[in-house]
Amino acid sequence: METFVSFLGGFEALLSWEVLGFMIAGFLIGTFFGAMPGLTSVLAIALLLPITYTIDVVPALVMCASIFMAGMYSGSITATTINIPGAPSSMMTAVEGNALMLKGRAPMRWGTRRWAR
């Protein structure tokens, strides 16, 4: 029972307004750094590390994790559209995604299960 109470306490700490604000800010920063070719999410974390020393532990870790996750995902934006990977992890997305985009098969229409043509 103590494990379940600790588990719920962790969710309570994550769902506070302060932590959610840092999570959203981290996702926005990570998306910007990941989508810009040459800037990576690891660089964003390294540049924003002094800011994390001034805040509590939980918001700092959540912000670093959200920067990293958004940066890894958003590297595929430039990889698909202009064939330049925004992050090193999206190199294969540049190979496959750009070829699909040039064929007109990259985006899906909202509300359908077919590829847009």
| The pLDDT of residue 12 | 85
Closest CA to 36 of 66, 81, 99: 81
Provide the mean pLDDT of the chain. Answer: 85
Judge residue 46's burial from the number of C-beta atoms within 10 Å of its C-beta, 0-12 exposed, 13-18 middle, 19 or more buried.
Answer: exposed
Distance, in Å, from the CA atom of 94 to the CA atom of 89, rounded to the nearest integer, reads: 10
Quote the CA–CA distance of 32 and 40 in Å, as a whole number: 9
Note the pLDDT of residue 81.
84
Per-domain residue ranges of the chain:
2-102
pTM, rounded to two decimals = 0.79
Instruction: Please classify residue 61 by burial: count the beta carbons closer than 10 Å to its beta carbon, then call 0-12 exposed, 13-18 middle and 19+ buried.
Output: middle
**pLDDT, tens digit (0-9, with 9 covering 90-100), for 35-81:** 888 888 889 999 999 988 899 999 999 999 999 999 988 888 888 88
